[in-house]
Structure 1
Amino acid sequence: MTAWIQQIFNATKRYTVWDFALLKLCLIAMGILIGMYFSSQLASVTALIWGAFLVSYAVIVYKTLVTYSRD
């Protein structure tokens, strides 16, 4: 388990500015989604926010686990 965590940390050291921007987008979208369950003001754009979250999450996971952890 510790070796896997170290491998993830080493992969994140190779992130570019765009990777961190995508990670921030993912976290912001997740925060908005959590907040939307407590407020109905953003209900009309729920699908758009879910799409932004899922796409950015999938790219970050792929880059972290597949692309950057190969070395």
Structure 2
Amino acid sequence: MSDTLILTPNINGADDFYADLLAAHEGRDTADSEAFNARLLLVLANHIGDRAILKQALAAAALTKEEDPS
């Protein structure tokens, strides 16, 4: 496994995944959607498992659009 966070497009069927994500939020109120997102984040973080990668992801997510180097 790489020790660097992948920030370039890397999702097979990205548009389909996005549609699935939107569908998972259908019918949820704001609080339930936020709780769903938190659970999803923890499930995916557990799958990644590498604290160094997760720290890089936290830093990347904290960047504003103006700060984004990509």
Q: TM-score, normalising length from structure 2?
A: 0.34
Larger Rg: 1
Q: Which has the higher helix share?
A: 1
